[in-house]
Chain A
């Protein structure tokens, strides 16, 4: 079973700062997802990665398959970025439970 570790668990920063959230996993994967969960509880998908780097607005996600590590970066952070960011990995198990394995999330607060 894949183990997914995120760091830090909690992060408070000032508006405008560059933010980095890290994710490590223990078993080779088919894809990695970064998800955002707002206080209301709903989850939205930010990125799906299987290699390299993706950028969307102020968000950048990178993955290093050899090191089993991914990072989510937020440039010019804003209070509206405050949310829980969750890393999840997908593995073709060939049987057994289908679905994603989730990290515990990083609770990000951006102060004005």
Chain B
């Protein structure tokens, strides 16, 4: 079945540690996105990539980094510079030419203590 996988579903880290969240898609989509969701707020765009080896900052990129070495993979690293990393993280992808219709992964809930 085609879709987006994110792993793990729950992740716990100590403050000061970097952590990498996985996102893989087998939909052959060109564009991939990372969003952050906090209680009472809409999803906010962290980073996006429209093509392999290229990515752009979204609205809240500070403290995060990404890579896009393969079309199907778009990992997100939450660095120790991110002041409030505890959140729910969603990965999405879309096919070029579609009008904004994005497919979402199941999400990773990150807790940093």
Please determine whether chains A and B interact with each other in the same assembly: yes
Q: Which residues of A are in contact with B by a Cβ distance under 8 Å?
A: 4, 30-31, 33, 35, 40-45, 48, 50, 86, 88-90, 97-105
| Structural contact, B48 and A90, CB atoms closer than 8 A | no
Indicate if the CB atoms of B59 and A97 lie closer than 8 Å.
Answer: yes
How far, in angstroms, from A90 to B45 measured CA to CA in the complex?
Answer: 13
Give the contacts of B40-87 with A (CB-CB under 8 A): 40-45, 48, 50, 56-59
- Residues of B bordering A, CB below 8 Å: 31, 33, 35, 40-45, 48, 50, 56-59, 88, 90, 99-107, 109
Considering only CB atoms, which chain B residue lies closest to A40 in the complex?
A: B106
* Whole-angstrom CA separation of A90 from B33 in the bound complex: 14
Q: Do B106 and A99 touch (CB < 8 A)?
A: no
Q: What's the least CB distance linking B25 to chain A, in Å?
A: 14
In the complex, the chain A residue whose C-beta lies closest to that of B107 is: A41
- Tally of A-B residue pairs with Cβ under 8 A? 69
User: Which residues from B are CB-within-8-Å of A100?
Assistant: 43, 45, 100, 102
A86 to B35, CA, bound (A): 14
Judge whether B99 and A50 touch: CB under 8 Å: yes
- Given known contacts A40-B106, A104-B40, A104-B41, is B100 in contact with A97 (CB within 8 Å)? no
When distances are taken between beta carbons in the complex, the residues of chain A under 8 Å from B102 are: 33, 45, 99-100
A100→B90 CA distance, assembly (Å): 13
Given contacts A33-B100, A33-B102, A89-B100, 15 further A-B contacts (CB under 8 A): A31-B99, A41-B90, A41-B106, A44-B104, A45-B102, A48-B99, A86-B42, A86-B43, A88-B100, A90-B99, A97-B57, A99-B100, A100-B45, A102-B42, A105-B42
> Nearest residue in A to B58 (C-beta to C-beta)?
A97
Residues of B within 8 A of A99 (CB): 33, 45, 48, 58, 100, 102
Identity of the chain A residue whose Cβ is nearest the Cβ of B33 in the assembled complex? A99
Q: How far is the CA of A4 from the CA of B57 in the complex (A)?
A: 21
Instruction: Determine the distance from Cα of A31 to Cα of B104 in the docked complex, in whole angstroms.
Output: 17
A88 to B59, CA, bound (A): 16
Residue of A nearest to B90 (CB): A43
